[in-house]
Amino acid sequence: MNIIVVCLLSFLVLPQMPWWFIAVLSSIVGLKSKGLLSTVFSGFICGALPWTLVLIYSYNSGVDLLIHRVSGIFGMDGITGAALVTIAVGGLIGSLGSLCSYTFTVAFKDQLIKE
Amino acid sequence: MVTIFVVYIFDNKLGDLPPLGKFIDPYHGYLALHNSDQLPDTHILFDSLIDSVNVTWDERRIPHIFAKNEHDLFFVQGYVHAFDRLWQMEFQVMAAGGRLSEVIGSKALDYDRFQRRLGMMRGAENVQDFYQSDPTMLHSLQAYTDGINAYINSLDPDQYPIEYKLLDYAPEQWTIKKCALLYMYMAWELSGSTNDLAHTKFLKEFGVQNYRDLYSFDSPLLSPIMPRETEWDFDPVQIDAPDDIYMSDPYGDGIKYQPNPNNGSNNFAVSGSRSKSGLPILANDPHLNLTLPSIWYENHLITPEFNAYGVSLLGAPCVVIGYNKDIAWGSTNGMNDVMDFYDITFRNELKEEYLHDGKWKQVSLSIEKIKVRDSETVLDTTYMTHHGPIMSHDIFDKMPRFGSSVSVGRAMKWLASEPSMEPKTFYLLNKARDYDDYLHAISYFNCPGQNIIFASSDNNIAIWQTNKLIPKWDLQGRFIMDGSDSSHDWKEKLPIEHQPHSLNPSRGYLSSANQNPVDSRYPYFVPGDYAPPFRGARIDQILDETHSATYKDLQSIQNDNKSLLAKRVVPILLETLDKDRLTPDQLEIFKHLSDWDYFYNPDSKMPGIFDLWIKKISVSTWKDELGDADEDVEWPNFRILSDLIADSPDSKWFDNINTKKAERLSTLSMDAFDEVSKKLLEELGSVGEKWKWKNFRGTDVYHLAKIPGFGRMHLPTGGDWNIPNATARTHGPSWRYVVELGDRPRGYGIYPGGQSGFPGSVHYDQFLDAWVKGELYELHFPYTKEEINGHSVNFIPGESS
């Protein structure tokens, strides 16, 4: 559910914000995450999915030539290179964002328990 | 912390990696550019315009700019150039001025230092000052500059061209100095070469007679640019030569970063006596490094006094090669030697004074700041003499003649460092109406030396070699000269009427292909790195047989693929082969070579092996005596080698001095054939599809900054640098055009690229496939805006939008 909310939020907020704001949005899923793996996974999705969907939409809306050439920078054709880099970078930043909030939450909880 | 660190990494360019986060962000990165090649709306307001201007882009995105005055014309030309090619125009002048370290960091520092020492920035500053003396040019350049800046200022950072995003920097304001730098860049591309060190080395080891034998200019094969029957009706200026040739110690570094030797060009014109229409036809194809975006931009400039169509350089106003209602012009590189080197004797190691005519002269210092990305600014000092900058001052230890007590350097004298007014030539050519206007226009041109061909609707054809001619004694400037002796200094330039030229020759045509401009009857010594005569001779051979010509005849010359070098040597080389020693596969190659028509067509199968064979023979001939070819050693060209093959099969140069056996041409040829044929058979199999020239060589058009994916590779081309279609692997005809003069001239042209510099645009490489096929587009040449259809935009005076 959180993932869907973050993705929807991304479409609304990211056009007005710098690229790294995707890490801030992805951190939302880390706040209520139940484990490290699921945090990384949901952060990855929140980072990679919104960007990749825009990429795919653009590719199918007449921006294919530009995307093809950008894929060429990474040694690939079509949308493949651009998509892989988008997924990798978006996913990594999303994962790190969610991990941040997750570790913060865990540390905060531990602190509360200790107190 | 890790997150912040990773964000920092992806927010900044690291080494060759772009700032990936910023770049792939679909809202502000490269995808934000998806509409950036879309032409402007129906009108734009600019407060600096005097009157309204209409721009109509035709179906190939060629802008036809209709202005009511020159100020507005050049303002909008600047705007349009920046609109399509902003990154390219700025990158070129940053490279020329030695500022690449600002963009790509310290790895460009050596390159930048070299550009600064050459004097590119100093030269541009001098030229900029020189422009002040000519208000017309100054106003034109200022209007053009304002137009570029109007476009830059209209951009939001998200709209910066994709290369800025990849390299992570921003455009800066354009200046007139950058226009001057562009001309310095062209001067370096076309005249920034020297072989003085290599020739001095040869002279020292083999003497002057061998030098004359192997590096002479004239030849029976030569068809000089100025027809041999040209009469030189002037009294030559007396040039006093020293008694002896000065012998420098040929040590130290040569000039690295030399322009590509394949830079060259063809131009030719037939007079009305040889055309179907009874009026001249002119053609031109400058051969330059092929890049995307292309070096050229096609545009049409119209005012009530001005109607010029053709290609422009990005970063300067006017049309550089093209035509107007009355005349057409085109250019090839003159290849003249306009860069000389002098040994400088310093008084001591402080290098504060140097010897000249028995007196000590003061050295001046030029200190330049080179900004380096992510690093401290570097100060670079160049020692200046009256000859020019010292390009190498760490060579004295290697120069035994001077001993270690004297400090020695080597100064460079380069014609391009003298202030001159090349933009004025193009400005006046754009407006020229007849031969006198053309003469006036080219009188402003100094460097790089060009063969500017001309044709007019009043039935004149002409060609002039344009750079101011330096009077030189026989062999002056071929070797490093004595910088302490004023008799070696350059003297006052020769009168313009003494420059090589030809007007309406009786044969009815003119041509140039970077060969010697004149034969030995010309009264001055005009040294240069001229192209071997084969390309020019082939063009003249076809022109000689051309009557009732139309543009198609001249177009077919541009696409002609016959090699006169191959025609001259292949039959002789085949005679040298011992067929009994050949394998069946080699005999098959032998048969193909025997049947070859000497054409380098895309589907020809023999150019590849001939190319390797003749190069291997060249290596075997020269390497043992002269050493490896590099900036310190220059091997004689293929004309000399073909002379030896045809006339002196027992020449001493064919003998390998490292063996006891006495080798002859036949030995070298057989061994070379055996080696290259076996290599090709192993790599390509027996003669077949892979042997076709288009597959064997082909052409690669890289992006200007060699960004992978932004170029076009393996284009199936024919041609080669020694034949009229001088298409090579990365070089070639950068603009092919033909114009038939008439009541209304009809132009046809193409360049290997497209109008837009945006890789995501269909206009980025739109013309490439047609260019490969040798096609030309018919060029629209409207006199009024009503005569052209397309997307139309009005630039209107008013508060800038």
Sketch the domain layout of chain A as residue ranges. Answer: 22-114
Confidence of residue A114 (pLDDT cuts 50, 70, 90): low
Phi-psi region of B168 (alpha: psi -120 to 50; beta: other; left: phi over 0): left
Contact A55 B31 (CB under 8 A): yes
Q: Which residues of B touch A63 (CB under 8 A)?
A: 31, 34, 760
Contact B34 A65 (CB under 8 A): no
Contact B25 A97 (CB under 8 A): no
Chain B nearest-CA distance from A112, in A, is: 23
Contact A93 B21 (CB under 8 A): yes
By C-alpha distance, the chain A residue nearest B24 is: A86
Residue A103 above 50 pLDDT? yes
Q: Which residues of A touch B710 (CB under 8 A)?
A: 69, 72-73
Chain B nearest-CA distance from A12, in A, is: 11
H or E element: which one contains B383?
A: strand B378-384
- CA dist B567 and B597 (Å) reads 8
Q: Which residues of A touch B17 (CB under 8 A)?
A: none
- CA dist B635 and B620 (Å) reads 11
Q: What is the pTM of this model?
A: 0.94
Residue B19, chain A, CB below 8 Å: the answer is no
Alpha-carbon distances, residue A15 vs A54, A82, B31, B36 (angstroms): 11, 19, 12, 17
Q: Which residues of B touch A23 (CB under 8 A)?
A: 3, 7
By C-alpha distance, the chain B residue nearest A81 is: B709
- Quick one: B12 exposed, middle or buried, by C-beta within 10 A (0-12, 13-18, 19+)? middle
Residues (pLDDT < 50) of chain B are 395-406
Contact A85 B26 (CB under 8 A): no
Cβ neighbors of B329 (< 8 A, separation 6 or more) are: B282, B321, B322, B323, B429, B432, B438, B452, B453, B454, B455
Domains of chain B, with CATH numbers?
2-176+786-797 (1.10.439.10), 564-696 (1.10.1400)
Q: Within a 10 A sphere around the Cβ of B398, how many other Cβ atoms? A: 12
By C-alpha distance, the chain A residue nearest B758 is: A66
Alpha-carbon distances, residue B536 vs B267, B273, B467 (angstroms): 10, 21, 20
Contact B21 A99 (CB under 8 A): no
- Quick one: B734 exposed, middle or buried, by C-beta within 10 A (0-12, 13-18, 19+)? buried
By C-alpha distance, the chain B residue nearest A83 is: B24
- CA dist B567 and B544 (Å) reads 19
Mutate to test the interface with A, among B24, B162, B701, B706 (most CBs of A within 10 A): B24
Q: Is the peptide bond before B471 cis (omega within 30 degrees of 0)?
A: no
Give the count of Cβ contacts less than 8 A between chain A and B: 89
Closest in A72, A85, A93 to B708, CB measured: A72
H or E element: which one contains B746?
A: strand B746-750
Chain B nearest-CA distance from A65, in A, is: 5
Give the DSSP letter of residue B299: E
Instruction: Give which of B587, B778, B606, B634 is closest to B697, Cα–Cα.
Output: B606
Residues A30-39: tens digit of each pLDDT:
887 788 888 9
The residue assigned the tokens 């002409």 is B462
Closest in B22, B27, B760 to A69, CB measured: B760
- CA dist B704 and B263 (Å) reads 16
Query: Does the model's ipTM exceed the 0.90 cut?
Result: yes
